[in-house]
């Protein structure tokens, strides 16, 4: 039976609780050790089947619409895979509502791409191995595989080796995006061997998460911080403003420019955000998002299977979830 209306899918952003660049690889990328955490700030995708087989995307930030958009590229990539596997073509109309700032270090584009992959696998009735899904995700960007499972995860290699962890201690997060762009490639290029980490802080934080212990906030690290603070004075100034506003800990997310400050209680977080907003900073008050919350919101694929064998696409009734449609294949064009 044709499936005619849209599903809405949230695409949660991330912060890097730790981000250690371990060294340069022969392929030009860098090896990483990072503990990533999904957060409540999110974009929303609406995906509706397009019976004519066309794949299109509209976005409330018009400059982000178009073929370069990672969610649309995810649709094309999955469609190419489906064609190769089943000899049929698949259409979709994607509407993308942006909330996560772009080029911010929060993984917004990567989250959109992963959400599109998961939703379309279901919408198009594609069953594929978790490994294949991960490979498609990694082709779209280093951060994309993490967003297939969300929650808290240890990320290694170029970013494609994702080990799901239990949910880290829940935290309120004040996010502040200074008004500068830090291109990711340039941020990596600015690093030298003297900046590289050894992965010890990441191992310690991952260990605490595995034990269910409170996060050792004094062990949150980010290899990019020194160079980004040096090269972007507006980031250094925003950092000082966050500390002055009462943030006990301030860290960079990804290669920036967004800074985050974790809080264990809402009141000081809200007070800090208010002060920063009054001073003209672009801020958000968010919180960490556990894996169960991601799975409830995204009843589209068995993300638990991502650490294991085959990725099947159970129906909402099997999962006890709501808000999705039966994973019926679309009629052939």
CA distance 61 to 279: 26
Q: Minimal CA–CA distance to 73: which of 38, 112, 125?
A: 112
For the bound state, the minimum distance from the C-beta of residue 282 to ligand C5P, rounded and expressed in Å, comes to: 23
Nearer to ligand C5P, 143 or 167 (CB): 143
**List of residues contacting ligand C5P (CB under 6 A):** 29-30, 32, 141-143, 158-159, 184-185, 188
CA distance 42 to 86: 33
Would you call 98 a catalytic residue per the annotation?
A: no
For the bound state, the minimum distance from the C-beta of residue 158 to ligand C5P, rounded and expressed in Å, comes to: 4
For the bound state, the minimum distance from the C-beta of residue 162 to ligand C5P, rounded and expressed in Å, comes to: 13
Would you call 14 a catalytic residue per the annotation?
A: yes
Nearer to ligand C5P, 184 or 274 (CB): 184
Nearer to ligand C5P, 57 or 138 (CB): 138
3-class SS at 48? strand
C-alpha count within 13 angstroms, C-beta hemisphere, residue 4: 2
For the bound state, the minimum distance from the C-beta of residue 215 to ligand C5P, rounded and expressed in Å, comes to: 24
Nearer to ligand C5P, 8 or 188 (CB): 188
Is the distance from CB of 161 to CB of 138 less than 8 angstroms?
A: no
Is the distance from CB of 272 to CB of 253 less than 8 angstroms?
A: no
Contacts of 58 (CB under 8 A, 6+ apart): 65, 93, 94, 95, 96
For the bound state, the minimum distance from the C-beta of residue 21 to ligand C5P, rounded and expressed in Å, comes to: 8
CA distance 55 to 75: 7
Nearest-CB residue to ligand C5P?
142
Q: Which of 27, 31, 112, 143 is catalytic?
A: 143
Q: Minimal CA–CA distance to 223: which of 177, 185, 188, 176?
A: 188
Active-site residue list: 14, 143
């Amino acid at each position: 039976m044709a499936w005619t209306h849209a599903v809405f899918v949230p695409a949660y952003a991330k912060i890097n609780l730790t981000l250690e660049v371990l060294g340069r690889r022969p392929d030009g990328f860098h090896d990483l050790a990072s503990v990533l955490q999904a957060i409540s700030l999110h974009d929303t995708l609406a995906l509706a089947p397009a019976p004519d087989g066309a794949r299109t995307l509209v976005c409330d930030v018009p400059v982000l619409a178009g073929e370069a958009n990672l969610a649309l590229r995810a649709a094309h990539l999955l469609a190419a895979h489906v064609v190769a596997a089943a000899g049929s073509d698949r259409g979709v109309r994607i509407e993308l509502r942006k909330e996560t700032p772009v080029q911010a270090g929060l993984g917004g584009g990567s989250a959109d791409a992963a959400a599109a992959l998961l939703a379309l696998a279901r919408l198009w009735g594609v069953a594929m191995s978790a490994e294949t899904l991960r490979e498609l995700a990694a082709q779209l960007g280093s951060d994309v595989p993490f967003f297939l499972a969300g929650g808290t995860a240890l990320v290694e290699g170029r970013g494609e080796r994702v080990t799901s962890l239990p949910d880290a201690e829940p935290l309120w997060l004040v996010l502040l995006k200074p008004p500068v762009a830090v291109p990711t490639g340039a941020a990596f290029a600015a690093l030298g061997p003297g900046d590289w980490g050894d992965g010890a802080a990441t191992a310690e934080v991952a260990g605490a998460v595995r034990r269910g212990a409170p996060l050792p906030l004094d062990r949150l690290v980010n290899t990019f911080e020194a160079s980004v603070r040096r090269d972007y004075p507006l980031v250094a100034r925003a950092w000082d403003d966050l500390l002055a506003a009462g943030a006990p800990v301030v860290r960079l997310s990804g290669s920036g420019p967004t800074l985050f400050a974790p809080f264990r209680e809402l009141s000081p977080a809200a007070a800090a955000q208010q002060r920063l907003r009054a001073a003209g900073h672009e801020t958000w008050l968010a919180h960490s998002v556990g894996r169960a919350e991601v799975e409830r919101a995204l009843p589209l694929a068995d993300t638990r299977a991502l650490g294991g064998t085959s990725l099947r696409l159970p129906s909402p009734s099997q999962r006890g979830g709501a808000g999705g449609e039966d994973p019926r294949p679309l009629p052939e064009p």
